[in-house]
Structure 1
Amino acid sequence: MRYALVLLLLLLSPAPARASDIGGFTLSAHAAPVSVLLHTDLIPVPAEPQGEVHLSYTQTELGAGPIGRSVASSLWPGAAVGTGLPQLLGFAYPVQANAAHPGGPADQSQPGMRAAAGAAKAESYAGAKQEVPFLLTADGLSSSSVSTVSASEARSTAVTSAQTISLLAGVVVMSGVRFESVAVSDGSKGSGTSTFSVAEFTVLGQKFPVKAPDAPPDGLLKALEPLGITLTWPTAATKLEATSATSSSRGLTLTVDVLALRTKLGLGGILDGIVAPLLPKELAPLLNPLRKMVVIVGDTEAVANASVSAPLTPPDAPAPVVPPPPLADASPPPGLGTPPVAGVTPPSKSVTPVASARTRPRSLLDFPGVPALLVLAGLGVAAAGAFGMKSFGTFLLGGAPCPSGHPTGVPDLRVSP
């Protein structure tokens, strides 16, 4: 019996409130192990670059509502084509897996792609061997984006990795590539980290091990310069602002001057001097399809922003009473005044404090919301009606005396004659 009483008290006692419970939140993450930007004169597009493609691309979004969305694509052509194709041509871009909440589908999978979305978690994954002849070959390429929310924090994570990435038929090879960005918000502050690592470079068979993560290896830039390739080392940063955090790593960027590269490799004379005269004039530009190619290795971003849920006010809590503003010429009543100030003559006029309406005793005729006169009039009408009904019944059932002296009224049917 004693244990049952203790258990009953525990069940009836309110649970302690957690001040860190998450209310509103906004999360997003995207990751792309390799992005290729193409600059060409063959495509009449008034923008730079004229073409873009992201290999093993993932993206997630999660917000209060809840609303979730996930995208995974082994070959993502950018948001303009990937999401705008249904509006332009009437059908969706086929090389992708999509998930959405609450509209659905909750999860979707295709070869090398997977996406899932729910009320508290959105995640996507993409990974497969990628190969573009003469331009790029990637082994062990993968990326993942995850956005989750719990009672105490909101978190976004974006990760990319690759075993080897070979550019321009093996002219430049990178190995051991990994980028990661994490953003967290607990409703009171934001935090996050962003890191990257590259194990080794190989340029024309010469190896350049990466010893320090914040700078390229010695001699790497000089080895790339004769090939018309410029290298920009990656950066990683975390930006904190109030309760939000944005962590990003901008990947390793290789800018290839295609015209200069083919000259260095001895292909310019062959194409322009031998092949070009054999082609029609209209097809000659096909020998120089690209002016410039930009390859970005590793690109991640994670964003998290959350707010703490406001405590609910009990419905029976009294509303706060706001005191009326003091009168301009009023002075405090006797006994409650302020001490005199030197050089200032206190006012002789005093104001009698008005008694609060809440302390006035209530009368029996005080009916909330109904005037007392209306209540009294209703009672009078009801009494007059009852008296009239009684008099009318007496008249019908023998209220007048009988001339012969017989009893009047309703006979007693319980007595036999």
Structure 2
Amino acid sequence: MRYALVLLLLLLSPAPARAASDIGGFTLSARATPVSVLLTTDLLPVPAEPQGEVHLSYTQTELGSGPIGRSVASSVWPGAAVGTGLPQLLGFAYPVQVNAAHPGGPADESKSGMKASAGASRAESFAGARQEVPFLLTAEGLASSSVSTVSASEARSTAVSSAQTISLLSGLVVLSGVKFESVAVSDGGKGTGTSTFAVAEVVVLGQKFPVPSPAAPPEGLLKALEPLGVTLTWPSAGTKQEGTSATSSSRGLKLTVDVAVLRTKLGLGTILDGVLAPLLPKELAPLLNPLRKLEVIVGDTEAVANASVFSALPPVDAPAPVAPLVPPDASAPGSSDIPGSAPVVGNSPPKSVTPVANARSRSGSLLDFPGVPALLVVGGLGVAAACAFGMKSFGSFLLGGAPCPSGHPTGVPDLRVKP
């Protein structure tokens, strides 16, 4: 009996009010990739540049109000145009990826070196594996992760990409100790975030260039790359804040390779153009120079967070009572000196009016008729009933009161019957 009483009290007790700082609407996204390769070629008739792109160990998450969540992870991501547009073009999905979605599902999916999961309050993806493209790139310890989460007090997105060593162009350029991280947070009142990166060392043709500070490239590194036709753009990181929104991003270290200059420096131009080109048909000669420009971006992250909170409605103050207007006494001295009023010639001050109670505010009754006393209505109905009864009795007395001596029927004859 005691437990039943406690359960009854719990069921009847009102639910606790939501805290004013609880997160309401939110939009989160995170994206990370340790290495991106962008290809510019004249073989493909595509007006935009680059004509091809490949992102290694790519991850992305999205989480929004609804809630709606989505996660993508791919060891080799060819870009959104191919990765998500392939089913519409060819009728089947790009195979080297895993996807998770909420609420449609699947809640999680994993393959070798790839994992994705999505729920109502958390979306997460991870990709990591050794990558190797012959004569172009070899990467060890390549990994990236993207996480978007929401709690009662904040909405957070985190994107991280890292690599132990990255060897470009058969060891021409080697980078080690690479890590990029971007974090964006919103508590519904303000957006904050951080973005950092680190590169431990860069090696060019066997010459080591330690990086004492990530703020600027090591001295002599740019001059060592110039003869090879390689242009280096040092990474940058920052956070943009706008009200409740924050966007943290880092643009990775970019190596732009002029393929024509590099072929000449390595002595490949003479072999390809002077020896092999004459042996091929004229239509196939451009295949010996497939690339015009090659861009390798090491480290790229972005995190976006925006949220709003449930705010309690402010209490509404009751209106202050208004004092009734009292007309001033014209005979009283100083009556014309009332602030804010001016005497008007020919107009007398208004008389006070006693407010009349509204009939609609009273409790209703079956005998209430607007404007007509109830006793008069009931009396009128009784008189009408008595008159009707009297007229009926008087008609019966005149037309059908006594029987006919000859035995004919009495009363009013039926005029509708022909004689």
TM range (shorter): 0.7 to 0.9
Q: Which 10-residue stretch deviates more, 149-158 or 129-138?
A: 129-138
Question: What displacement does 1:345 show?
Answer: 3.1
2:342 to 334, 342, 345: 345
State the 1:161 CA deviation.
0.2
Question: Structure 1 residue 286: deviation in Å?
Answer: 1.1
TM-score, normalised by the number of residues in structure 2:
0.79
For residues 270-300 of structure 1, what are the alpha-carbon distances to aligned partners after superposition, in whole Å with 9 as ceiling and x for unaligned? 1111111122222111110000001111110
Range 270-279 or range 200-209, more displaced: 270-279
Tell me which residue corresponds to 1:93. 94
Query: What is the SS of the residue equivalent to 1:98?
Result: strand
CA contact (8 A) 2:327 2:350 kept: no
Q: Find the aligned partners of 1:141 and 1:117 in 2 and give their Cα distance.
A: 23
Asked whether 1:272 is paired with 2:273, we answer yes
- Counterpart for residue 29 of structure 2: 28
Aligned-pair CA distance for 1:89: 1.1
**Structure 1: tracts of 5 or more residues without a match:** 325-330, 392-417
Structure with greater Cα Rg: 2
Q: Work out whether residues 190 and 245 of structure 2, in 8 Å CA contact, stay in contact via their aligned partners in 1.
A: yes
Q: Give the corresponding residue for 2:192.
A: 191
Partner residue in 1 for 2:54: 53
1:302 aligns with 2:303: yes
**Residues 195, 361 of structure 1: CA spacing in aligned structure 2 closer, same or farther, 3 A cutoff?**
same
Partners of 1:94 and 1:77 in 2: how far apart?
11
What code does the residue aligned with 1:302 have?
A
Tell me, in whole angstroms, the C-alpha distance in 2 between the residues paired with 1:106 and 1:375: 74
Distance 1:17 1:68, change over 3 A: closer
For each residue in 1:152-186, what CA deviation from the matched residue of structure 2 results, as whole angstroms up to 9, or x when unmatched? 00000000000001110100000000000000000
RMSD: 3.8
Report the CA distance shift for 1:189/1:276 in structure 2 as closer, same or farther (over 3 A): same
Letter in 1 for 2:190: K
Distance in 2 (CA, whole Å) between partners of 1:356 and 1:295 is 86
- In structure 1, what is the equivalent of residue 412 of structure 2? none
1:347-362 equivalences in 2 (<5 Å) = 347=344, 349=347, 350-351=349-350
Aligned mates of 2:53, 2:336 — CA distance in 1: 78
Number of aligned residue pairs: give it: 373
C-alpha distance in 2 between matches for 1:167 and 1:61: 32
Q: 1:366 to 1:60 in 2, by over 3 A?
A: same
**CA–CA distance in structure 1, aligned partners of residues 58 and 172 of structure 2:** 25
Counterpart residue number, 1:241 = 242
* TM-score where L is the length of structure 1: 0.79
Contact conserved, 1:165 with 1:174, CA < 8 A, in 2?
yes
CA deviation map 1:229-276 (0-9, x unaligned): 000011101011010100000111110001100101111111111111
Within 5 A, what are the aligned runs for 1:257-268?
257-268=258-269
Q: CA deviation at 1:311?
A: 3.1
In structure 1, what is the Cα distance between the partners aligned to 2:206 and 2:247?
Answer: 39
| Aligned counterparts of 1:251 and 1:163: Cα–Cα separation in 2 | 15
For residues 47-71 of structure 1, give each alpha carbon's deviation from its aligned partner in whole angstroms, at most 9, with x where no partner exists: 1110011111000000010000000
Between 37-46 and 61-70, the greater mean CA deviation after superposition: 37-46
Structure 2 contact 161–181 (Cα < 8 Å) conserved: yes
2:40 corresponds to which residue? 39
* Structure-2 separation of matches of 1:236 and 1:354: 75
